[in-house]
Amino acid sequence: MDSFSLDPYQHTLKKAVSCSGVGLHSGAPVNLSIRPASENSGIHFYRTDLNDRNGIPAHMDKVIDTRLATTIADKEIHVSTTEHIMAALQSFGVDNADIELDGAEVPIMDGSAAPFTLLLKRAGLKKQAAMRKVLRITKEISFTSGDTTIKILPHNGFKVSSEIYFEDSFIDKQTYSLNLSAEKFSKEISQARTFGYVEQVEELWAKGLAQGGNLDNVIAIHWDRQSILNEGGLRFSDEFIRHKVLDLVGDLALMGCPILGHVIATRSGHTQHLGFMKAMAKATDCWEIVEFKTNKNKSALHKVALSTKAIGEQIMPFFVPQHIRPGYNVATVSC
C-alpha cells in the first residue's frame, strides 16, 4: 500500500453490542445496539420504538439541526446527538453497521465517545469482501463563516488539527492535532467530555433542555471561570480542544466514507461542520473518489475512466449527494 495505512477492505462488526443510558436533552432512558451490516450498506440509524424499517443513513444530506448537537432525520423520524458514536465508528474503521435505539437521542453516556469505543473493542471488526471507497482531497478547500475557518488539504491519511479561543483564562487558546487512527483516537480523543458554562446549563434546564445533563456527563465550568464543578477535575489539561476534535471527526463521518486529507479548523462547531461538508461536496474539482484494488505488485495509484452509469452502480447510493453525482472523478488504489 501507499504511505497511508487504511485497510483496503470494508469492515463491519463481528457481533452485536449494546448499551443503555439517557438522552442529554430529554433525560429519557435509551437502549442502543450496534449490529453488523452488509457490505456497501454504510451506517444507518433505526428507531425501534417507531418500528422504523428503512433507517436513516448517516449522511450529511440527512442533517436537519446542528444546535447543541447534530441531528439527522428521514421524513418524521429523527435521531440526535450522533457525533460521538459516529466519531468512534469512523476512527475504528467501521464502514457498515446498523445502530438501533428506542428513543430520539443517542445516549450521552459519560459525555465522551469512550463508552462507544469500548463497545467496538468488545464487538471486534470483521473484514468484508468489498473494497473501500475513499474521498481523497486533491486541492485545498476552504470554508469561512464569521470567526470560523475550516479548510482541508491533500494528505496521505486523515489528519485533524483544531484550535479554539475563549475569552476566559481558564480555557483561553487551545490547539490539538493528530493523524487519526483507532489507537490514537482511543487514547487521546475518545475520553474527552462535552463541556459548558454552569449558567448555560442552567439556561438550558429552564428551557426544558439538557434534562439528562449532570456532572457525570458534562464538564461544568464554574461561574468564576477558574475551575470546574466536576469532582476529579479534567481528564486532560486540554480536554476542551480534544472534545472539539472528537465532534469534528464525528460530524465529518457524515460524508459517508473515509477521507484522505488534513482538516484544519478554527473556532468550529456543529453548524460550521455542516457548512464545510456542503462546501466540500460542491468542490468537485478538488477531490476524487478512490477505490482500492488488489494485486500482487507494488502498490500505486492509477486513474481510471468510468462512465456515469458505472459510477452510479459502484458508489453507495448515499455516498455523494444526488445533485453532484454526475461527472465526479474516480480513481483506484492498488495494494
Active site residues: 270
Three-state SS letters, the chain: CCCCCCCCEEEEECCCEEEEEECCCCCCEEEEEEEECCCCCCEEEEEHHHCCCCCEECCHHHEEECCCCCEEEECCEEEECCHHHHHHHHHCCCCCEEEEECCCECCCCCCCCHHHHHHHHHHCEEEEEEECEEEEECCCEEEEECCEEEEEECCCCEEEEEEEECCCCCCCEEEEEEECCHHHHHHHHCCCCCEEEHHHHHHHHHCCCCCCCCCCCCEEECCCCCCECCCCCCCCCCHHHHHHHHHHHHHHHHHCCCEEEEEEEECCCHHHHHHHHHHHHHCCCCEEEEEEECCCCCCEEEECCCCHHHHHHHCCCCCCCHHHCCCCEEEEEEC
